[in-house]
């Protein structure tokens, strides 16, 4: 098992009322499946909401498909929701 930490900003932080979330998952899981597990634990983070967010790691956006990112070590990701304003 590995630990995956998600740092939350803006709307994602408001929905969960936390700055970070850590979940434990099986080694070799994809980032997409990890996010699905996250939505089961934190139901307020719906798949529809997360699909609108950007995911970053090591100060870089994840540009590949989320089902192609395999998690093999403890990792921290950042969930960046879309910003609205006017």
pLDDT at residue 72, as a whole number: 92
Residue pair 12/81 in contact (Cβ under 8 Å)? The answer is yes
Q: Residue ranges of the domains in the chain?
A: 2-23+34-80
pLDDT at residue 59, as a whole number: 86
Say which CATH topology domain 2-23+34-80 has.
Ubiquitin-like (UB roll) (3.10.20)
pLDDT at residue 82, as a whole number: 87
The 10s digit of each residue's pLDDT in 10-29 is: 999 999 999 999 999 999 99
Kindly tell me if the per-residue pLDDT of 85 is higher than 60: no
- The beta strand positions in the chain, using DSSP E, are 2-8, 20-25, 54-57, 60-61, 75-80
The 10s digit of each residue's pLDDT in 29-78 is: 999 999 999 999 999 999 999 999 999 998 899 999 999 999 999 999 99
């Amino acid at each position: 098992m590995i630990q995956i930490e998600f740092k939350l900003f803006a709307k994602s932080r408001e929905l969960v009322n936390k700055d970070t979330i850590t979940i434990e998952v099986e080694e070799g899981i994809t980032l997409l499946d990890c996010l699905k597990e996250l939505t089961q634990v934190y139901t307020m983070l719906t798949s529809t909401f997360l699909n609108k967010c950007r995911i970053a790691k090591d100060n870089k956006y994840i540009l590949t498909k989320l089902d192609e990112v395999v998690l093999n070590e403890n990792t921290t990701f950042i969930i960046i929701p879309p910003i609205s304003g006017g």
